Amino acid sequence: MSNIQSVMHENRVFNPSDEFVAQANVSGMAAYQALCQEAARDYTGFWARLARETLQWKKPFTKILDESRAPFYKWFEDGELNVSYNCLDAHLATEADKTALIFEADDGTVTKINYRDLHARVCQFANGLKSRGIRKGDRVIIYMPMSIEAVIAMQGCARIGAIHSVVFGGFSSKSLYERITDAQACAVITADAQLRGGRVMPLKSAVDEAFSLGCCDTVRSVIVYRRAACDIAWNDNNIWWHDLIANQSSECEPEWVEAEHPLFILYTSGSTGKPKGVQHSSAGYLLGVMLSMQWVFDYKADDVFWCTADVGWITGHSYVTYGPLAMGATQVIFEGIPTYPDAGRFWKMIQQHKVTTFYTAPTAIRSLIKLGGELPKQYDLSSLRLLGSVGEPINPEAWMWYYNTVGGGRCPIVDTWWQTETGCHMIAPLPGAMSIKPGTCTLPLPGIQAAIVNEAGEEVHDQHGGFLVIKRPFPSQIRNIWGDEERYRKSYFPEEMHGAYLAGDSARRDIDGYFWIMGRIDDVLNVSGHRLGTMEIESALAANPLVAEAAVVGRPHEIKGEAVVAFVVLKGPRPDDPEKAREIAETLRNWVGTEIGAIAKPDEIRLGENLPKTRSGKIMRRLLRAIARGEEITQDVSTLENPAILEQLKNAVK
Ligand code: PRX
């Protein structure tokens, strides 16, 4: 454990203003502590109270937490509700005219929709899904651009109890195929194309390619939303979105589901080659996202909320499709990219839509600093009252810029630590309760028993690094890995942790008890705030006919946080000609783009005759990491079978 050491020494502390504290939902440290104490006194009673007060139940629950089949926990098991009802119908009596979504398209066109119309369109679409025979428990893949329709597709599934699995539009047809088959989906919802940065990027063709890769015979319907009006191929089971909803009623009685009914599956990378289908519940998940909207985003009815995440990631599930709608918020959703037509786009949108709460990722902040650090000053950002960050640790320089240049030194920053598996924020400031420091996600949310432990699962002292765990089950957590109970158990509840949830991150606490996330403990990279398994990229490379073996490591990157570096051994001889080597590297880079998606493309590929291995044949990744970073190799290489290979890889053409 002694080698988990933090290099961050940040002493600056920022307090919320008196005005902010006065208006906050959780106002002052004592209010935060009172919630924590309530949870400590009566853990299940605490969650039960919140679940009764926060959610609208069709049938109230009597059971709170069932731990008898741990780690397969059940919360509020005998209660019944519908998530889409909680997100839409719940607001119709008083807020039907309130704007739910402000959609800004890539070209700047703005479309607004209020709760009444959104409800009607979700109902129509849900009826359309039913007309195709889609029922409670069926899996539906959603492969769509950021759009009002993407939100409708997700809410429509939730309304009829179908389980959606959104696949990020940047993933390749191969990734799509794997998810369709793993989930045994009965339908795919897609668009002809997506528009980003002024370019038309096909989507439907990737669905067609996914089908050509193998048997997807569970899929009976492919629903296509016309976004770009471009030419696409057409098959028997295809149906246009507009034809599906034509003549459908705008009323649709929700399917009342039990609290534990799976709301969605979302695939994420792990330390093996195959992505994990993270399965979430209905009630526990919704409770988590709603509480974090109130506690962390300090949500107010007149807020204009903007989370920039795509619905293809967990952040877009929790803080676009479910959290803000369940709160009855007005939110901005954006089709395009932050740098088009220029790096002032976000700031222009904040000004135009009078955004109050802005939530984005450190990688976006860093790239916007680089492309136009002074640009925010050209816009009126005075509507902002709270800023958020997610996906990776935010470096103090980016934090300070975000705080001063975007937030005008007036807006607290909530640095939110959480994961696909936790469903909602776990460690994050309650901005009216605690002071913040650049680079730390501060303290756990009330009821979340986060701790740092050693390999034996024993808690370590403050200032020491260790594994981040959550000691008690919590309502919003992952319920299973779709179809793989054993992997679920092994990945998150290994025996050494004595029943605690192992997050896969290392962290330390400072003298104030604040958590500092240090990085992953498994073979998972964090590229632009997105999780990529090294094994996943390695198996993609190894699947290329030219490749005998591959090893992938991460290297710090100024904008992306981490960049992918691959070491590859070819089946044939290693080319002497640097041009030839570059050509092969380019071919392999594109190959990874096709196998997984553009985000997984290695920045650098080095060809070697071999990889550094121990005598037992294990690849010594720490040496590869040093080479990738251009560091001197100071580590012990005495167990290395083939030391000469290090020189070759160091000098390899990049
Ligand atoms: O390593 C942590 C990092 O992102 C991982 C979770 O990735 P994913 O499931 O894709 O979800 C990302 C959005 C929630 C974590 O295990 N991470 C996320 N947020 C932070 C973070 N690391 C440091 N600080 C954060 N605020």
Mean pLDDT (whole number) for 608-619? 86
Residue 334 one-letter amino acid: F
CA of 524 to the centre of ligand 1 (A): 11
pLDDT at 3 exceeding the cut of 80: no
User: 1 pLDDT band (50/70/90 cuts)?
Assistant: very low
Nearest to 137 by CA among 158, 157, 162, 166: 162
CA of 33 to the centre of ligand 1 (A): 25
Q: Cα(123)–Cα(155) distance, rounded to whole angstroms? A: 9
- Give the per-residue pLDDT at 314: 98
Pocket probe for ligand 1: among 399, 526, 532, the residue whose CB has the most ligand atoms within 8 Å is 526
How crowded is residue 252: how many other Cβ atoms within 10 Å of its Cβ? 22
Average pLDDT, rounded, for the chain: 95
Nearest to 600 by CA among 533, 501, 649: 533
- Give the per-residue pLDDT at 81: 99
Query: Tell me, what DSSP letter sits at residue 42?
Result: -
pLDDT at 8 exceeding the cut of 90: no
Q: Cα(206)–Cα(172) distance, rounded to whole angstroms? A: 7
Nearest to 189 by CA among 234, 241, 136: 241
Q: Cα(451)–Cα(508) distance, rounded to whole angstroms? A: 9
Instruction: Dump strand ranges (E) for 534-577.
Output: 547-557, 561-570
Mean pLDDT (whole number) for 535-544? 92
- Give the per-residue pLDDT at 546: 96
CA of 255 to the centre of ligand 1 (A): 33
Nearest CA to ligand 1 atom 21: 392
- Of the given ranges (80-94, 172-186, 322-336, 603-617), which has the lowest mean pLDDT? 603-617
Mean pLDDT (whole number) for 367-373? 92
Give the pair of three-digit tokens for residue 384: 């902002």
Percentage with pLDDT > 70 across the chain: 98
pLDDT at 201 exceeding the cut of 60: yes
Measured in degrees and rounded to the nearest 5, phi and psi for residue 352 equal -65, -45
Query: Tell me, what DSSP letter sits at residue 428?
Result: -
- Give the per-residue pLDDT at 5: 47
CA of 78 to the centre of ligand 1 (A): 32
Q: Rg (Cα) of the chain, in Å, rounded? A: 24
Mean pLDDT (whole number) for 360-385? 95
CA of 26 to the centre of ligand 1 (A): 24
List helix spans (H) across 6-114.
18-23, 29-41, 43-54, 83-84, 90-95
Pocket probe for ligand 1: among 414, 517, 562, the residue whose CB has the most ligand atoms within 8 Å is 517
Q: Cα(366)–Cα(389) distance, rounded to whole angstroms? A: 12
Q: Cα(266)–Cα(310) distance, rounded to whole angstroms? A: 13
Nearest to 165 by CA among 175, 333, 392, 75: 175
Q: What is the pLDDT of residues 53-100, one digit of tens each?
A: 999 999 999 999 999 999 999 999 999 999 999 999 999 999 999 999
Ligand 1 closest atom vs CA 418: 14
Question: Is the peptide bond between 341 and the residue preceding it cis, with omega within 30 degrees of 0?
Answer: yes
Angle between helices 115-131 and 148-160 (to 10 degrees): 60
Mean pLDDT (whole number) for 580-604? 96
- Give the per-residue pLDDT at 461: 86
- Of the given ranges (29-38, 102-111, 248-257, 387-396), which has the lowest mean pLDDT? 387-396
CA of 392 to the centre of ligand 1 (A): 5
User: What b/e sequence results for 539-552 when a residue is b if at least 16 CB atoms lie within 10 Å of its CB, and e otherwise?
Assistant: bbbeebeebebbbb
Burial environment of residue 198 by CB neighbours within 10 A (0 to 12, 13 to 18, 19 or more): exposed
Ligand 1 closest atom vs CA 517: 23
Q: Are 401 and 366 in contact (CB under 8 A)?
A: no
Instruction: List residues bridging with 359 in a β-sheet.
Output: 307, 388
Nearest CA to ligand 1 atom 22: 392
Mean pLDDT (whole number) for 244-248? 97
Burial environment of residue 522 by CB neighbours within 10 A (0 to 12, 13 to 18, 19 or more): middle
Residue ranges lining ligand 1, Cβ < 6 Å? 268, 314-315, 390-393, 415-420, 441, 503-505, 517, 520, 526, 530-531
CA of 450 to the centre of ligand 1 (A): 15
Question: Is the peptide bond between 71 and the residue preceding it cis, with omega within 30 degrees of 0?
Answer: yes
User: 400 pLDDT band (50/70/90 cuts)?
Assistant: very high
Mean pLDDT (whole number) for 534-546? 92
pTM of the model: 0.93
Mean pLDDT (whole number) for 452-457? 96
Query: Tell me, what DSSP letter sits at residue 533?
Result: E
Measured in degrees and rounded to the nearest 5, phi and psi for residue 289 equal -70, -35
Q: Which residues touch 580 (CB under 8 Å, ≥6 apart)?
A: none
Nearest CA to ligand 1 atom 14: 419
> Pick the residue with more confidence: 429 or 620?
429
Three-state secondary structure of 226-269: CCCCCCCCCCCCEEEHHHHHCCCCCCCCCCCEECCCCCEEEEEC
Nearest CA to ligand 1 atom 18: 391
User: 2 pLDDT band (50/70/90 cuts)?
Assistant: very low
Nearest CA to ligand 1 atom 2: 392
CA of 425 to the centre of ligand 1 (A): 10
User: 270 pLDDT band (50/70/90 cuts)?
Assistant: confident
Nearest to 602 by CA among 502, 546, 652, 527: 527
- Give the per-residue pLDDT at 274: 86
- Of the given ranges (253-257, 374-378, 579-583, 640-644), which has the lowest mean pLDDT? 640-644
pLDDT at 273 exceeding the cut of 80: no
User: 9 pLDDT band (50/70/90 cuts)?
Assistant: low
